[in-house]
A and B are shown apart, each in its own frame.
Chain A
Amino acid sequence: MTGAAAKFAPGDRVRVLAHFPPGHIRTPWYCRGRTGEIERICGRFRNPEQLAYGHRDADREVLYRVGFASRALWPDHKGGKHDRVEIEIYEHWLEPMPGDAT
C-alpha cells in the first residue's frame, strides 16, 4: 500500500495542529501549534497511534522531519539564535501555513 503522494516537500513551512486528543500520540506536546519547516521526508510508516491499539493493518503514513527554531518553540529561549529542534511528525498532524501554496 503506497497511498497518495506526500503532501509537503522539504522547505515547506508547516504548522503542527494544536490538538490535544487522549491516547498514544507521538507528536510532542511542546511543538503543537508551532510553526516549522519540513527538513526531509522519512518515508511511509504505519501510524503508531493506530498500532498502539492493536491495529496491525494501520495506515502507512508519510513521516516527516520538521525543523523548528528553538525560539519558535519557546519565546524565552536563551540559547543561540540559530539553535533548532528537529522532530519526526506524521502528516496528519501538519497543516500548510495560511497563504503558502502546497
Chain B
Amino acid sequence: MSGHEHAGAPAHPHHPPPRGPDGYEADPTRHHPPGPDLEDAPLAHHQVMQMAVTSLLIEKGIFSADDMRAQIERMDALTPARGARLVARAWSDDGFRRRLLADSKAAATELGMDIGPVPILVMENTPDTHNLVVCTLCSCYPRFLLGIPPDWYKSRSYRSRAVREPRRVLTEFGTEIDSERRIRVHDSTADMRYMVLPMRPSGTEGMSEEALADLVTRDSLIGVTEPHAG
C-alpha cells in the first residue's frame, strides 16, 4: 500500500464524519451512492419544445406565467372527492342518480360543480354488471372531475391487460367479480371520459351523504374496487 490509505478508509480516522439530526452521516453519498436521476439526463426533444412553446406563449402575451401557474394549481386541486360527492348524492336521491347517468355535466352543476369541457359518461354498476375504465391508447382520464390519474392507470400493464383479462386484473386489486356478473370494460379512446357509479354497499342505510362519500374511493370510481361499509 506504500503509505497510501487504502480505498474506502476514512480520510481522518480520528474525526468521524459529521452526522445529521437523524443520526445518519451528513454526506448521503456514503449510504446511498449517487444513482441516475431523470433530471441529470440531457433534455429530450419534447421537453425542449415544451419549454420553447411555453416561453413563446408568455412572451407574446397569450397568457402570463401566473396564468399558467394558476391553471396548474387549479388542476392539482381537483380530487376524487368530487366524484365521491356525486356518487353519494346519487345513492341518496334517485332522481339525481337518473340525471347523473343521463347528463353528468348538468347534474354536477346542481351541486355547484364544474366538471369541465370534456363529456363524462357515468357507468352504473348493478347486480348484473360491473364497469371498469381504461385507456388502452394513452392515459385518458376524467381529470377535470377527479384530478390526475394514479400511476398504475398509465402503466402499459394495466392498459393492455384491463381489456384482455379484466377479471385477473381485478383479482390483483383484491376484487372478485362473480362469474355470472357481466364485466363491461370501457376503453376511453377518443372524446368521452368515464366514471363508474358503484353500487351502494349494504349496511349503509340511513347514513348521511357526507358519510357515504367517505366510502367512495378513487379506485372504485375507476372500477378496480367496490366500496364497502366501514
Interface residues of A (CB under 8 A from B): 26-28, 30, 42-43, 45, 48, 63, 65, 67, 70, 73-74, 77-80, 82-90
Contact = CB atoms under 8 A, between A and B. Distances in A.
Interface string B169-191: 00000000001111111111111
Interface in B75-129: 119
Interface of B: 119, 136-137, 163-167, 179-192
Given A65-B192, A79-B166, A86 B184 contact: yes
Contacts, number: 72
B167 A80 contact: yes
Given A42-B190, A85-B186, 4 more contacts: A30-B164, A70-B185, A84-B182, A89-B189
9 contacts: A70-B185, A80-B180, A83-B167, A85-B187, A86-B186, A88-B188, A88-B191, A89-B189, A89-B190
A28 B187 contact: yes
Per DSSP, chain B at the interface is loop
Given A26-B137, A30-B163, A42-B119, A83 B183 contact: yes
A42 to B, nearest CB: 6
A67 B137 CA distance: 17
A30 B163 CA distance: 9
Contacts of A48: 190
B183 A88 contact: no
Contacts of A28: 136-137, 163, 187, 189
Contact of B191 (A45, A83, A86): A45
B167 A79 contact: yes
A79 B189 contact: no
A86 B182 contact: no
A77 B161 CA distance: 12
Contact of B192 (A27, A84, A88): A88
A4 to B, nearest CB: 19
Contacts of B182: 80, 82-84
A87 B167 CA distance: 18
A78 B168 CA distance: 10
Nearest to B178: A80
Contacts of B186: 85-86
B140 to A, nearest CB: 10
A88 B187 contact: yes
B191 A84 contact: no
